[in-house]
Structure 1
Amino acid sequence: MKFDLSDWQGRQARLLPILEDAAQAGLVPAGGAAKLGEFLLGRGVGVASDAAAADPSGTGLDTPRASEPASPVEESEAPRFIRGFHDILITIGIIVALVGLGGLASVYAVIPAAIVLAEILVRRQRLALPAVVLTAATVIAAAMGTIPVWDGLPPTDQDWSAAGVFATISVAGFLIYWRYKVPLALGGGLVALYAAAIYSAGVAMQAWSNNVAYFALHPNMLVMLLGAFALMVFITALRFDFRDRYRITRRSDVAFWMHLAAAPAILYTVMAQIYIGNRDGLFSSNTSIWQAAAIVGAVVVLMLIGIILDRRAFVTSGLLSFGYAFKVLLTEGGFDKLSASTDTLVFLTFLAIGVVVLSLGIGWQPLRRVIVGNLPDGVRDLVPPVRG
């Protein structure tokens, strides 16, 4: 049976408050409102608004935006950043005030100020964008504040300072999530925890080899560590995603932030392998046509993963690499000899990136319909359904 999944966010905004009231009245088990809402929304259940009932045509000025006809490319990846211009105004004030406080006092003064603001704006008022900014400010201040501590360790332990900073970020993120339930805090805390573990493993390997040039002599080991970090972040993000297929809980927002870290980590792991042995590093001037083709292939695979998971981070993370590789392909293919100006090559590269982005943006849901529709049933039941 095919259920109507249109106007997902509008139906969610009207249905969930009712279910939360039912939970407070004891009619729904504690903590079960979100799960019941996911179940009902996935089966097309919704609540009509009073304004929509008063204006059944949906064309009047009094029609709420949530009651407007759903777009065939309805968005399912909608992290809750901004709920109104009030959030933007408050966020501007937070940034200006904390920067001024940090400049007049010190970074240590930013932490208590951010906590006081979080108690008011996040815990009480539940403002979304200020929650993100205050989380970032607290974590950055904590990391900067502990750098002198880690750098002050005995000389034999100085190589561990970066791991200590990552661990500090992780602990700060977990504490913020425990207190304020900000998805960015949990996602960032997990990413920092994995970074601390992988960095520590790298330092331990170098110490075991007793050779400061260990990774220069064994670049494959460095690629392996980067790949392990990328996989840890990606797999954790998938676990959050798969447990919230319809994207109505905080799990989806946590996965969003972790995918933002996982996508570039995966791409640059592949690129590091492609450029291994090249002393000039990534994006070097002597990039071969085969290396450029491999980069384009890696970006295309990431885009396919993004389409399947309905996560656009996998598209945006590869645009810079795609543009550079495309330019190399044009140059190696002799296109630069057909033009008297290097600007033509640059503008053509920009045009190619723009066409790719627009094509994916406009055809996102049709592409998902084709690709997801041909996946095995077990995989298709894990990823978000095609909307529209």
Structure 2
Amino acid sequence: MYTQNDLDEAVAAGAITPESATALRAFVDHQRNTPAVDEEHFRLITGFNDIFVSIAAAILLFAMGWIGQSIGQNLGLVIESEGPSPLAPALVAGTAWGLALFFTARRRMALPSILLLLAFVGGTVATVGFALIFGIGQTRFEGEGSEWLAGLVGATAASAGAIAAFLHWKRFRVPITVAAGAASVAGIVVALIAAAIGDIPALETIILSTVLLLGVGVFLYAMRWDSSDRARITRRSDVAFWLHLLAAPMIVHPIFTLLGLNDGDATIGEGLAVVAIYVALGLAALAIDRRALLVSALAYVLYALNELFEQFGAVSLNIALTALVIGSALLLLSAFWHQARSAIVTKLPLALRGYLPQLSPTPA
């Protein structure tokens, strides 16, 4: 099993000619009756060995975290008396980097590389955060007026995560690393804003609005990667995929939360608004040829439709009717994705179309 990126590297190594790679892509597109650009390929597993190695790596990382926690407790390097120790995530991060030197740099295994990247960045964030809390003292974070200190600690830990993601990208070039770095940068901004404004009644609204704006920023950054590979045949497309996967919940969750959908009491008007927004997100997903927006908003539209059917009296069948409507709609959209996308993109201005993925499999 090989990916588009593997074909590019084979061409670069001289194993096959660029013409042969293009002909192979065109043949696969014809066999599937769908342009490869619409398939949204990304590397997750190359074989069952990826799953095997990932399970083994997860067990080893768990063991290293447990050992680090035990050592920290014996040395007294724990938050309070029974809290976490900075040594636990530090050992996890160090082990993840060491494993990546073989399974990512040499074996180039997809799923283990993703797991090890998340363990390294997450372990770095937790190490810095726990170390700062341990050094400052847990009692300093209790009581009124401590929000600014917690925010600064969170921003510092997120900064460490961003640096870790940058170093990992420079060494290993795993596509998800850019999204991990973007998430860390977003965490820095949110933590600093929380530290600056303190505990006020409008804190949740401000944070949600900030996350929404950051989500739009990540989305635009993803589109920058997408527009640099409109045929989706290089690693840049994989980077864009993970950025879109990050941006989608950052955009969708604040919108529906600010609309009041998460308060557990959706009205008919709110339900119809959710459906309308989901349709708009569907049009945007078709235009940019990314399904992450639809998946991220799926839970909200399922809930909204369920409430609508219940409001109209279909109490006993509301769940079944909701599943029927959404499932049928998504399957139809998937079956005619390329045709629906063509109908939308061809009506957009030519200047905007230049930034969107191609409608045909032929590279520009």
Structure 1 length normalisation: TM-score?
Answer: 0.76
Greater relative CO, 1 or 2 (CA 8 Å, sep 6+): 2
Aligned to 2:168: 176
Ranges of 4+ aligned residues in structure 1 off by more than 4 Å: 12-16, 66-69
* Separation in structure 2 between the aligned mates of residue 251 and residue 68 of structure 1, nearest angstrom: 20
Residue 201 of structure 1, CA deviation: 2.3
Which residue of the other structure, out of 19, 27, 30, is the alignment partner of 2:12? 19
Which residue of the other structure, out of 253, 267, 270, is the alignment partner of 1:288? 267
Residue type of the alignment partner of 1:183: P
Residue type of the alignment partner of 2:10: P
Q: List gaps (5 residues or longer) in structure 1.
A: 1-7, 23-32, 49-65, 207-211, 276-281
Aligned to 1:26: none
Residue type of the alignment partner of 2:43: R
Residue type of the alignment partner of 1:46: A
* Kept after mapping to 1: 8 A contact 2:231/2:357: yes
Q: What root-mean-square deviation, in Å, do the aligned CA atoms of Structure 1 and Structure 2 show?
A: 2.8
* Kept after mapping to 2: 8 A contact 1:198/1:229: no
* Separation in structure 2 between the aligned mates of residue 15 and residue 150 of structure 1, nearest angstrom: 45
* Kept after mapping to 2: 8 A contact 1:299/1:318: yes
Residue type of the alignment partner of 2:224: R
Q: How does 1:141-290 map to 2 (within 5 A)?
A: 141-152=123-134, 153=136, 154-155=140-141, 156=146, 157-206=149-198, 212-215=199-202, 220-275=205-260, 282-290=261-269
Q: How does 1:306-345 map to 2 (within 5 A)?
A: 306-336=285-315, 341=316, 344-345=317-318
Q: List gaps (5 residues or longer) in structure 2.
A: 70-87
Residue type of the alignment partner of 1:324: Y
* Kept after mapping to 2: 8 A contact 1:15/1:47: no
* Separation in structure 1 between the aligned mates of residue 207 and residue 102 of structure 2, nearest angstrom: 44
Residue type of the alignment partner of 2:161: I
Residue 310 of structure 1, CA deviation: 0.9
CA 47–284 in structure 1, closer or farther in 2 if over 3 Å, else same: closer
CA 159–199 in structure 1, closer or farther in 2 if over 3 Å, else same: closer
Residue 361 of structure 1, CA deviation: 1.6
Residue 68 of structure 1, CA deviation: 8.7
* Separation in structure 2 between the aligned mates of residue 376 and residue 295 of structure 1, nearest angstrom: 28
* Separation in structure 1 between the aligned mates of residue 178 and residue 7 of structure 2, nearest angstrom: 27
CA 250–45 in structure 1, closer or farther in 2 if over 3 Å, else same: closer
